[in-house]
Amino acid sequence: MAMKSEIVDAMDGLDAGSPPAVFTQSGTVSQMDACGCRWPEANFDIDKMIELALQMSRQYGFDTVRIPFDITAEAEGLGATVLPGNGRMQPMVSGSPWRVADLSERPELPPMDEFLSGRCSMHVEAGRRLSRDHPELFLTAGIFGPMGVVGHLIGMEEMMIASITEPDAVKRWTEAVLPYQCEYARMLSEVCDNVMMITGGSEDIMPPSTFDDFVAPFDGKVFSCIRESFSLAHCCGQTGHVLRRLASLGETALSVCSFGDPEYIAREVGGRAVLAGGVPAVETLMLRGPEDVISDARRAADAGYGVITPECGVPPLTSDANLLALAHYREHNIVNYE
């Protein structure tokens, strides 16, 4: 089990040998059953959110804690409608006042204090309470990147099409959203050890040629506002053609999907950021067994990852055995993964 001081040293880029395991993702059904705090209530009630967030440490031994469990609060604060989800599904954006809007005009979004008065404010307060009451745990807060928030507001498919047909309009929307994300990130950085932003850049959504127009300038500004804590850029999907640029946004650490080749990720990133990840969330944590979890974790460690984490959001039905294996991967003796 990793101590918080080990995690801090790893995020600082200090190589102490075997990297610590960190849980930076979401809740599981087993955790919800064990503590009695479940989705959707734990996404909207601060006491239940804190109780469920602490369960990853209490149940598996991670010296880490993560809030919140979803990525819809920013869009909700800007006027979007959110479906609460259920015990196995996170909240999701179902609509917004701008889904049929004329993208050529800059949107009139709510005042900053109104944006921050909802769940965003609750997340900041949850971070403050967790840091005060559990200073021994490494606290990560997750946010959505500006382009992702724009996709929630105008529709992801509409944004993807508009990035080709109306690129200037998409930039105006992203510029309009940017101050909200910057302020939210800044506030979280004051009460948390680490702010993890789900950034753009996935080649499954946008072609690599658009990275410098729609991702780098905006995400880089958000990372520049995270001054009081570490920062982590997470990107789902294929990122092979933009890895070096993803690692150069100003973040402390980078988390991407390795698709079974952590050595390639480490070579491409080349020390530009601390690498976090190494254990596929679905292919290994969800569908395979503890020995596979340990093998993947050790392979990533050997490849040069500074922090071992799930590579994406952990499915709610992930087994206790696999999460225990991840938390304690350094303590187990198994046949070498080769």
DSSP assignment string, 119-153? HHHHHHHHHHHHHHH-TTSEEEEEEE-HHHHHHHH
Spatial separation of the C-alpha atoms in residues 335 and 113, rounded to whole Å: 55
pLDDT of residue 334: 45
Lowest mean pLDDT among 88-92, 104-108, 266-270, 321-325: 104-108
- For the chain, helix (H) and strand (E) counts, in that order, are 15, 9
Contact 188, 195 (CB under 8 A): yes
Q: Is 119 exposed, middle or buried (0-12, 13-18, 19+ CB in 10 A)?
A: buried
Report the pLDDT averaged over residues 126-149: 97
Lowest mean pLDDT among 35-44, 103-112, 127-136, 269-278: 103-112
Give residue 111's pLDDT band: very low, low, confident or very high (50, 70, 90). Answer: very high
pLDDT of residue 299: 97
Q: Is the torsion defined by CA of 302, 303, 307, 312 positive or negative?
A: negative
Percent of the chain whose predicted confidence (pLDDT) is above 90: 85
Give residue 2's pLDDT band: very low, low, confident or very high (50, 70, 90). Answer: low
Contact 276, 262 (CB under 8 A): no
Question: What are the strands of the beta sheet with 230-235, ordered from one edge?
Answer: 64-67, 138-144, 194-198, 230-235, 253-256, 274-279, 307-310
pLDDT of residue 333: 55
The overall average pLDDT reported for the chain is 93
**pLDDT, tens digit (0-9, with 9 covering 90-100), for 224-251:** 999 999 999 999 999 999 999 999 999 9
Contact 53, 67 (CB under 8 A): yes
